[in-house]
Structure 1
Amino acid sequence: MLPALFPRLLLPMLILLAGCAVIQREAFEREHGPADPTRYDHATAPTAAQVSYRREIQPLLGKRCVVCHACYDAPCQLKLGSWEGIARGISPELVYDGTRLKEAPTTRLFADALRASEWREKGFAPVLNEREATPAANHTASLLYRALALKQAHPLPQVDVLPKDFDFGLDRKQSCPRIENFEDYARDKPLAGMPYGLPGLTQAEFDLVARWLEQGAPDEGPAPVPAAEQREVDNWERFLNGDSNKERLMSRYLYEHLFLGHLYVSGAKDANAYKLVRSATPPGQPIQLVATRRPFDDPGVLRVFYRLQRDQEPIVAKTHMPYRLDAERMTKYRGWFLKPDYTVAALPGYTAQTAANPLATFHEIPVNSRHRFLLDEAQFFVMNFIKGPVCRGQLALDVIEDRFWVFFTDPDEGAVSDANERVQREAAKLKLPAAWGSDAGLIKPWRAYAEQEEQFVRARTASLREVAQKRGGPALTMIWDGDGHNPNAALTIFRHFDSATVVKGLVGEPPKTAWVMGYNLFERVFYLLSAGFDVWGNIGHQLHSRLYMDFLRMEGETNFAMLLPQAVRKDTLSYWYRRDGDALERVLGMDAGVESAVPFRSDDPKTELFTLLKKRLGPALDTRLALGTYPDAALRRPLQALAAVQGASLDWMPEVAYLEVADSAGHPHYFSLLRDTGHFNVTHLLRESKGLAPDENRLTVVPGFVGAYPNALYQLKAADLPALTEAVRGLASEADYRRLADRFAVRRTRADFWAFSDVLHAAMQREGPIDGGLLDYNRLENR
């Protein structure tokens, strides 16, 4: 009887709830006045006696709030790193939603709307007081103040591990209360004050924010750009906006590859970061942003101008991708793109079919030039598709192993040059997922990808065989050695379940798999996962991007496997693709079947190949993250013992942990513990647990900080390292890990958590002032 009545009761219930919301809003307006959504369209500069946002509030919110409220995955889309983000407010709409059937409207701060009132029209609710402008109302009608005050009134329970009422899952249901119903929210969830699930602000910190809000949240704006830095910006904008077709094609190519980066034109310690943007206005005029969903979408204006726009948000490690623009870089650009003798008769258009594939759009630029451009800062470009447009995403990352090495082909080697030219002609015909837009269907695009990929593989295989007949089989000379000095020659990629990190060098013990990336593969992965990927896209777009990446990973792995003796390739690939016969058949079909020209001498050719590659890279190989060369032997030896732990016990360890070790003199040293989860294969979509191989789990220990999302923080003395190793080796249950954490972890509930966090950030700044940034605590465990 009840199920039959439910549909008839649902509509009255919804009407009743809506009526309650209206009553609450009307009551709030009677007390505080009607809302003025334009109140924070522009900031009001503080007086000399008022609190400074730039000097006092922004640094404080950075250390206490931005560590959870940054990037697209900020709870309720509340970005607290800039005044404009605070003025924008909150939205219950999810950016990361792998189930949406239709593409969502983009909500990029500083791009898709520029004023608070414009964000209100897009459904964002305020966290500042937009009602009567009195000091009292600036508190009581401010969601930001009320959320911070709630934590002051109801601090964390004094326990080591918070009760299950605290939900820290990334897919938890969002609570995005509006100020009108905050009383009900606070009554129902008194322990949900901010910072959520972490210690509150000190009284002095809270009082500072309260005074700022009471004064109407003034902001003096960013500091003026230093004159020398502005001259460099002007110089680069002149260079990027030449009038010839050759210059314009170069600038479009640069923009589509650099748009996600933090660009630095000054080497000063406090230099500003810039974003390369498209503008409808030329240099010398205010930037009029051309905000399109993708960087290669039709701008809708007769001509775009490429401008450097100062980034107004704080640097966070999870999205920080630094790239230097200096005189040396400009000289390289001229040599790669302007000096070669080629003609651009007409500029390419922006139709989705061609614009989504750079091999078609930029076919007139010499392949060697494009290849050199990517190799010169290979870590930056790989970083773009490892962490650029996505702050989280198991769906996107379960296509790669937990740790693997990446090498690159040498653009000046004859066999590589021949293969690049031949394979590019076929690759330019491919239709990448972005060509179908962000509202892609589920079946038709996938069939097209599969058919095109099969055709491409056949053409690629034939081309590789022709090259082998002409120049010989795959040889070590095909691998780029960094020209003897460039540390981008070899990279290590770490996957941390739903995030990832890329670093220079061959870090850790030899991995199970490795990639060799040629130019065509490099460009296609970049456009698949960076330039063409849309986090607001529907399930079809996201699914096809993930499935297409299967093809590209197989291609990179096969490129590496072809350096091995032909006799061992099948067994090697079979081991990598255990329990998935279909994927194994596909990857075996990518092997050109030509014998390697590498002179192997051992009965373990894969390990020997890694040794030969290390020798080839020689002085270009970055060894800063090598534990074996850590200068303090008293720490190095016990940490090497910890790194030797392997197997199922590591299932209980976090993905990423930071370790502070005090040496015998009390000086702190910092290390990262990275769990490398074993897999039979990485081809199972949404069924990753089916492919796990616990006995193959490994632990990589490196000096410094790797990763941006620590799951755990440990603090101990050097004398305790053997005990930590034994505890990790003996893990067999959650209770075992609880005992480990009781002894070594700096839990989120510790009273001095924020003091320890400040120490960590200071250490990161010392060890990597360019690569560093604020950490993200959204994945911090509660165990």
Structure 2
Amino acid sequence: MKKIIVFMIFGLLMACGADQPAIPDSLPDRYVSLETEQGRLYRNHIQPVLDKRCIVCHGCYDAPCQANLTSAQGIDRGANKQVIYNGTRLTADPLTRLFEDAHSLREWREKNFYPLLNEDPEKDPLQGSLVYQMLKLKSNNPLDTIVEHNERLSTELFDFSLNPENICPDIDQFEEYAESHPHWGMPYGLPSLEQSELKLLEDWLQMGAPLAGLPGLDAIYLDQISIWEAFLNGSTAKQRLVARYIYEHLFLGHLYFDDLETNNNKIQAYFKIVRSRTPPGEPISIISTRRPYDDPKVDRVFYRLQRVTSSIVAKSHLPYALDNKRLQRFKALFFETPYSVKKLPEYNPELASNPFETFTDIPANIRYRFMLEHAKFTINGFIKGAVCRGQVALNVINDHFWVFFVNPDQEVLAGIDRFLNKHSKQLKIPPERESNASIISHWTEYSDLQATYLKEKSARLNELLEERNSGFNLDWVWDGDGHNLNAALTVFRHFDSATVVEGLVGQSPKTAWLIDYPILERIHYLLVAGYDVYGNVGHQFSTRLYMDFLRMESEFNFLALLPGETRTALREHWYRGAKDRVKQYVYGHAQLSVEPEIAYPDDQPAQQYLYDQLQQKLSKVLSNRYELHSDPVPEQHRRILQKLHGFQGASASILPEMGLLTVVDQHHQSRVYTILRNSAHTHITSLLFEQNNRVPDEDYVTVLPGFVGAYPDALWQVESGSLQDFVMQASRLKNEDDYDQLMNKYGIRRSHTQFWQFSDRLHEDFQLSDPVEYGSLDYNRLENR
């Protein structure tokens, strides 16, 4: 613990800022009508170039220097030296969320954002533009002057580490920056833009960089918005409480009207649910707060659908379909069951951060059903939300595991409302301390509350099972009602990012989770609704530690389906090397006295038998989209790639966490496969220094058709006739020299002369294969190997 605190304080002391220049009296207004020639130039030509060349690194919270180029507003806003993903700050940082925390150029300048575009009328538009100077610097010092085609870049010239030095010059500091780092022009560590693209941007910047919004929505979209806003803004206490619950669970979603999207290659419009001071029919006036449940400080909140005006990036894309079927389901779920809401809950942090108290009037089974029926979206919230970027946030989960859910129709769960009401205080979570939490002073409180809850939970389960003279069986696992693909999910972690997919994908994993309603709800309020990426080290530290509890409790639920002796053996295997107090925390407080009602054979490992039984039970709802044996995968590809799929051992550890392989056939048609290295650990209870718990000999490879992951570490391209050779080389890696040879022959390194052409085709394949999940990939993790 002392080492962790010293490390964080040291990082804080190393951080430095710069004096903010005076804000000029007059700031430019670059916005023009989309109907003008300049407006069409920006929308039809400039933003598409930025989407293809820039937002692959500058697309979200983790964009270098906060330069988010996915929208006109982000370009106009500029850059900021503040590092968002900073695990060392002792106090929470000011909020700088695009579209939320400021709405004018002057407001952004007051928040220490400096311009990327020229704002000095005395300067030439190009000379005063940081964008132009960065592009020109790269054009004057292209990669091919310092490295041969597809060779590794010099580690002395470039820093591709996870947390590189944050050098963010403004236009007045650019000359010094260029002298010190002549090869750090944009795109950083990648080839220059094509001359036609540079000329296009140069002409645009020369004319003052005009910006324009999106074209207006068709009337049919406006009709759907009206229907949904009417549903979300009913006047009764029940309607208002339900709307608050829906908003607090969907606020991160990119909503789209499934019935209207007839273009199969691209979703035309995405929306977000926002809190507004103004009712439907009036312009939206966003209520901006740190968390979706913070006090809005208005008498009445209105929930509105606001169009997403930024380009979509895969790492933060959470698509959620709205259609008439879903609307009718919401109405049936929340309003056909009789219950009353006499008084709306307050917004004080202690109450609002605890959904078991805030929404106690809505029956727990309804709340669980709501989250369960789109469980992939729910789990993806903590994977793709603000918490997703960072090793410390994600080293709480294994690299590959399956997720199941407790059946909401289990008869023994009938009394869950009484149980949760009785124990709601024990389910408090760290976000109630808001964003400036003490590092350790409150930790004992949450630890004791969780321990008490686990004891009460296991005692109640033992009592119920003994009353019915029964044990756990497969009926405890939700089957998706025979049609819902959310019943079984797979999570792949890629070091500091992760992906959730439907189905039981890949090899049988080391661990699995069985999630019940209290776990699912706490995951959401801990890591999504209650997590503040701008929060201090105490907030982030306590969030990570509490998630340990939820993971272990989910694993314990799964183990409850296994015989007692197997539970103990697996627990010991999953937590090899962990301290006894860690292993005993959940397993010591939660004890089940009843054996499961599943007949396990003597000649097969119990865990694998349980996996087989669950796959059989869920067969109707198991997606095979990411299986090599799925229909779209050519037989020749399947036969060859199967040799790499499941490959295990130290050689596997040489492969990157996540790579994309493009196989091109003789007709120049391509198919993309994701190659994942699942990193093995003795245990994952260490907050830092997880490398000490690695077991490379147990690493294994999973090969999946399509795109799984937003941050590729490596890109490969092979002709179909060379696929056998690629797989053979990849499965025989012994050291870095072997991997270097693989990359020389098949890799698309940062220095590849056709890098951007390959990138364009890769994104085209992504959009064609999965238009709903499609978003720009992020190249910040591309390895220099």
TM over 0.5: yes
Does residue 105 (structure 1) correspond to residue 94 (structure 2)? The answer is yes
CA contact (8 A) 2:315 2:778 kept: yes
1:331-366 CA-partner distances (Å, limit 9, x unpaired): 111111122111101000111111101111111101
Residue number in structure 1 paired with 2:626:
625
SS in 1 for 2:386: coil
Query: Cα deviations across residues 383-442 of structure 1 (Å, max 9, x unaligned)?
Result: 001121235110011011000000011111213444575256424542211101100001
**Structure 2 residues without counterparts, runs of 5 or longer:** 1-16
Partner of 1:411 in structure 2? 408
Give the corresponding residue for 1:87.
76
Of the three residues 625, 636, 643, the one matched with 2:638 is 636
1:711 aligns with 713
Residue 110 to residue 41, structure 1, CA distance change in 2 (3 Å): farther
Amino acid at match of 2:245: Y
- Residue in 1 that maps onto 2:535: 537
Q: Deviations over 1:317-339 (max 9, x none)?
A: 10111111111111111111122
Q: Say whether 1:385 aligns with 2:382.
A: yes
How far did residue 372 of structure 1 move?
A: 1.1
Map 1:343-358 to 2 at 5 A: 343-358=340-355
**Are residues 1:181 and 2:173 paired?**
yes
- Amino acid corresponding to residue 582 of structure 2 in structure 1: A
Residue 40 of structure 1 deviates from its aligned partner by 3.5
SS at match of 2:709: coil
Tell me whether 1:148 sits opposite 2:135 in the alignment.
Answer: yes
Measure how far apart 1:588 and its partner are: 2.1
- Is the CA contact (8 Å cut-off) linking 1:71 and 1:391 kept in structure 2? no
Aligned to 1:726: 728
Unaligned 5+ segments in structure 1 are 1-16, 27-33
Do the aligned partners of 1:46 and 1:219 also contact (CA within 8 Å) in 2? no
Cα gap change, 1:213/1:158 in structure 2, threshold over 3 Å: closer, same or farther?
Answer: same
- Which residue number corresponds to residue 767 of structure 1? 769
1:58 paired residue number = 47
Partner of 1:289: 286
In 2, Cα distance between equivalents of 1:424 and 1:759: 54
Deviation at 1:41, TM superposition (A): 7.3
1:573, distance to aligned residue in structure 2 (A): 0.8
Partners of 1:242 and 1:716 in 2: CA distance? 57
Aligned to 2:334: 337
- Secondary structure of 2:644's match? helix
Which residue of structure 2 lines up, in the alignment, with residue 600 of structure 1? Answer: 600
Distance 2:421 2:756 in 1: 52
Aligned 1:562-573 pairs, distance under 5 A: 562-573=560-571
Aligned identity (percent) is 45
Comparing 489-498 and 642-651, the one that deviates more: 642-651
Alignment of 1:437-448 (within 5 A): 437-448=434-445
Matched residues in 2 for 1:421 and 1:560: separation? 24
1:161 counterpart letter in structure 2:
R
Please name the residue that 1:362 is paired with.
359
- Identify which of 467, 470, 473 aligns with 2:471: 473
Structure with greater contact order relative to length (CA < 8 Å, sep ≥ 6): 2
Deviation at 1:666, TM superposition (A): 4.4
Match of 1:305 among 288, 302, 306: 302
Deviation string, structure 1 residues 361-381 (Cα, Å, up to 9, x no partner):
111101111111111111001
Give the CA deviation at 1:619.
1.2
Q: How many residues align?
A: 754
Q: Are the equivalent residues in 2 in contact too, given 1:360–1:429 (CA < 8 A)?
A: no
Q: TM-score, normalised by structure 2?
A: 0.93
CA distance in structure 2 between the aligned counterparts of 1:336 and 1:370, rounded to whole angstroms: 9
Q: Secondary structure at the match of 1:318?
A: helix
In structure 2, the CA distance between the partners of 1:477 and 1:534, relative to structure 1 (3 Å rule), is same
The Cα of 1:158 is off from its aligned counterpart by: 3.2
Q: Which residue of 574, 577, 588 corresponds with 2:575?
A: 577
Q: Distance in 2 between matches of 1:336 and 1:645?
A: 45
Conservation of the 8 A alpha-carbon contact between 1:420 and 1:519: no
1:97-152: CA deviations, max 9, x gaps?
A: 0010000011000100011111110111001111117xx71111011111111111
Q: After TM superposition, list the pairs within 5 Å mapping 1:147-546 onto structure 2.
A: 147-156=134-143, 157-159=146-148, 160-164=151-155, 165-266=157-258, 267-268=260-261, 269=263, 270-418=267-415, 422-423=419-420, 425-471=422-468, 472-546=470-544
Deviation string 1:195-249 (CA, Å, 9 cap, x unpaired) is 1111111111011111111111112311101110011001111110000000000
Partner secondary structure for residue 315 of structure 2: coil
AA aligned opposite 2:379:
V
Shift of the alpha carbon at 1:607?
0.5
What is the alpha-carbon distance in structure 2 between the residues aligned to residue 448 and residue 49 of structure 1? 59
* Equivalent position to 1:74, from 59, 63, 78: 63
8 A Cα contact 1:264 1:323, kept in partner = yes
1:756: which partner in 2?
758
Following the alignment from structure 2 to structure 1, what is the Cα–Cα distance between the partners of residues 196 and 515?
Answer: 53
CA distance in 2, matches of 1:730, 1:685: 33
Aligned mates of 1:220, 1:84 — CA distance in 2: 9
2:27–2:105 contact (8 Å) kept in structure 1: yes
Equivalent in 741, 748, 756 of residue 743 of structure 2: 741
Secondary structure of the 1:503 match is: strand
1:10 aligns to what? none
Report the Cα distance in structure 1 between the residues aligned to 2:69 and 2:752, rounded to whole angstroms.
24
Cα RMSD after superposing both structures = 1.9
Displacement, 1:258? Answer: 0.4
Show CA shifts across 1:548-585 (max 9, x none): 00000000000000001122110011111111122222
Q: Deviations over 1:250-308 (max 9, x none)?
A: 00000000000001125313421111000111111111110000001001111110001
* CA–CA distance in structure 2, aligned partners of residues 95 and 112 of structure 1: 14
Q: Is residue 50–residue 215 contact of structure 1 (8 Å, CA) maintained in 2?
A: no
TM superposition shift of 1:68: 0.4
Answer whether contact 2:31 2:210 (CA < 8 A) is retained.
Answer: no
Alpha-carbon shift at residue 37 of structure 1 (Å): 5.4
Q: Could you tell me whether the CA contact under 8 Å between 1:73 and 1:391 is conserved in 2? A: no
- Alignment check: 8 A CA contact 2:380 2:499 kept: yes
- Whether the aligned pair in 2 keeps the contact of 1:37 and 1:120 (CA below 8 Å) is no
In structure 1, C-alpha distance between the alignment counterparts of 2:434 and 2:738, rounded to whole Å: 49
Query: TM-score, normalising length from structure 1?
Result: 0.94
* Equivalence map 1:2-151=2 (5 Å): 35=24, 38-40=27-29, 42-43=31-32, 47-48=36-37, 52-132=41-121, 137-151=124-138
For 1:523, the aligned partner's letter is E
Partner AA of 2:352 in structure 1 = A
